[in-house]
Amino acid sequence: MKTVTVLGATGSVGRRTLELIAQFPEEFRVGGLAARGSNLRALAEQIRVHRPEAVALLDPSAVDALARELATPRPELLAGPDGLVTLAASVKADIVLSALVGGAGLLPTLAAIRAGRTVALANKETLVMAGALMTTAAREHGVALLPVDSEHSAIFQCLAGGRPSEVKRLILTASGGPFAKLSPEALERVTVEQALQHPTWRMGTKITIDSATLMNKGLEIIEGHWLFGMPFERVDVVVHPQSIVHSMVEFVDGSVLAQLGVPDMGIPILYALSFPYRLPCAAPTLDVVKVGALTFDAPDPVRFPCLRLAREAGMAGGAAPVVLNAANEIAVAAFLKGRCRFMDIPRLIADALDAHGAATADDLAACLAVDAEVRRWTEAAVARRLQS
């Protein structure tokens, strides 16, 4: 029986994780739950079903409202960023599944690592911001960072097919998003509704926009670099619209191993929870005959500059990935609120990298300072664009 704390319990990954935990009551139980605090009804229902020891809300003003939704006895309720850190570090858990969205996940995920808890990582933004800090902390505390992202879970599974020294390169697959075939002119005009229509995956809004700009794949290049210790030049991307091959590993002898499956996050989440074993997942089985053709194309870094910006920021190191991530989070939020256009997202990120990319972020304090400064700077840049 493993105890699992879920950070981001009310999100797309969090809800799927709790469904899986409910399907395997002999294997898993919930330790703690955390969310921002914007879906209190859903969270209260999760608390009723899973009876966590403690619950943390990032938004302290939502705690009283949650308390009113709960019958007594109720779990310990923690509030604010410190509450999330306390939950991740102090509630007894074998695994902390990190599925908050964005940089807000960094401190609780780091706290889980420092407390020696296995981390199942969906929240890729944390590794982009602080890959060196997180992987060093994981090594020092003997903690496994298990991938939840379907691409990195695929690579993790394929890597079992050889020794680390035998790996030639990692090949991440990208669906290409809803705009894979649009012209540069048409990309300037896409709406929020169109950008939220992902062709193969149902996910939270931020990652859905990241998938449409291909920033998601850019973040995944950096994630792959840190999770598997692979130089950036040996992490490639191919566009695979069917989302059946979740990623591949090429070995020195020319063999390429791939992991295939239906596009259902249940598969990689369950693998991270049950690792090193496998449990029967209720996801539909893959019918390769029905799928028919599997196609692969090169990505277009001109129409989708986010992919290039992310690779360059990863290779530059220092504060550049922190800047990339912070500017992207602000730009995506602005696009979702109709405050900037779709193609302003890469422009805002490029401008932020020009202004702040050469900074250093050697420790946590410096990383958080750059993150806060770039968020302010990008907000101001969005406001300037609106006025002009």
Ligand X SMILES: NC(=O)c1ccc[n+]([C@@H]2O[C@H](COP(=O)([O-])OP(=O)(O)OC[C@H]3O[C@@H](n4cnc5c(N)ncnc54)[C@H](OP(=O)(O)O)[C@@H]3O)[C@@H](O)[C@H]2O)c1
Examine residue 13 and tell whether it contacts ligand X (CB under 6 A): yes
Examine residue 263 and tell whether it contacts ligand X (CB under 6 A): no
Examine residue 100 and tell whether it contacts ligand X (CB under 6 A): yes
Examine residue 122 and tell whether it contacts ligand X (CB under 6 A): yes
Nearer to ligand X, 9 or 352 (CB): 9
- Cβ neighbours, 10 Å, residue 77: 17
Token pair for residue 273? 């929870």
Nearer to ligand X, 22 or 252 (CB): 22
Examine residue 244 and tell whether it contacts ligand X (CB under 6 A): no
Nearer to ligand X, 198 or 253 (CB): 198
Nearer to ligand X, 67 or 355 (CB): 67
> Contacting ligand X (CB under 6 A), which of 78, 101, 134, 367?
101
> Contacting ligand X (CB under 6 A), which of 3, 5, 10, 247?
10
Cα separation, 332 vs 348, whole angstroms? 10
Examine residue 375 and tell whether it contacts ligand X (CB under 6 A): no
Cα separation, 381 vs 385, whole angstroms? 6
Where does this chain touch ligand X (CB under 6 A) — which range of 129-137, 196-204, 309-317, 347-355? 196-204
Contact 330, 378 (CB under 8 A): yes
* Residue nearest ligand X, Cβ-based: 11
> Contacting ligand X (CB under 6 A), which of 104, 137, 227, 238?
104
Nearer to ligand X, 60 or 162 (CB): 60
Nearer to ligand X, 329 or 344 (CB): 329
Which own/partner contact pairs does 284-287 have at CB distance under 8 Å and 24+ positions apart? 286/244, 286/260, 286/261, 286/262
Examine residue 211 and tell whether it contacts ligand X (CB under 6 A): no
Min CB(242)–ligand X separation in Å: 17
Extract the runs of DSSP E, i.e. beta strands, from the chain.
2-7, 28-35, 54-57, 76-79, 95-98, 118-121, 145-147, 167-174, 235-239, 245-251, 256-260
Question: Which residue, 161, 134, 132, 173, is CA-closest to 298?
Answer: 173
Examine residue 129 and tell whether it contacts ligand X (CB under 6 A): no
Cα separation, 38 vs 31, whole angstroms? 21
Q: Return the ∠ at Cα 262 (arms to 261 and 266), rounded to 5°.
A: 90
Where does this chain touch ligand X (CB under 6 A) — which range of 7-15, 106-114, 167-175, 253-261? 7-15
Min CB(146)–ligand X separation in Å: 13
Examine residue 99 and tell whether it contacts ligand X (CB under 6 A): yes
Token pair for residue 44? 């209260």
Question: Which residue, 335, 33, 71, is CA-closest to 191?
Answer: 335
Examine residue 111 and tell whether it contacts ligand X (CB under 6 A): no
Pattern 144-183, binding to ligand X, x per CB under 6 A? -----x----------------------------------
Q: How does DSSP assign 193-213, residue by residue?
A: HHHT--SS----HHHHHHHHH
Cα dihedral 202, 203, 205, 208 sign: negative
Cα separation, 279 vs 227, whole angstroms? 24
> Contacting ligand X (CB under 6 A), which of 3, 4, 5, 8?
8
Cα separation, 51 vs 46, whole angstroms? 8
| Interface of this chain with ligand X, residues 264 to 323, rule: CB under 6 A | 265
Examine residue 241 and tell whether it contacts ligand X (CB under 6 A): no
Pattern 26-55, binding to ligand X, x per CB under 6 A? ---------xxxxx----------------
Residue 275: CA count within 13 A, CB half-sphere: 20
Cα separation, 126 vs 322, whole angstroms? 9
Binding site for ligand X (CB under 6 A): 8-14, 35-39, 58, 99-102, 104, 122-125, 149, 201, 203-207, 265
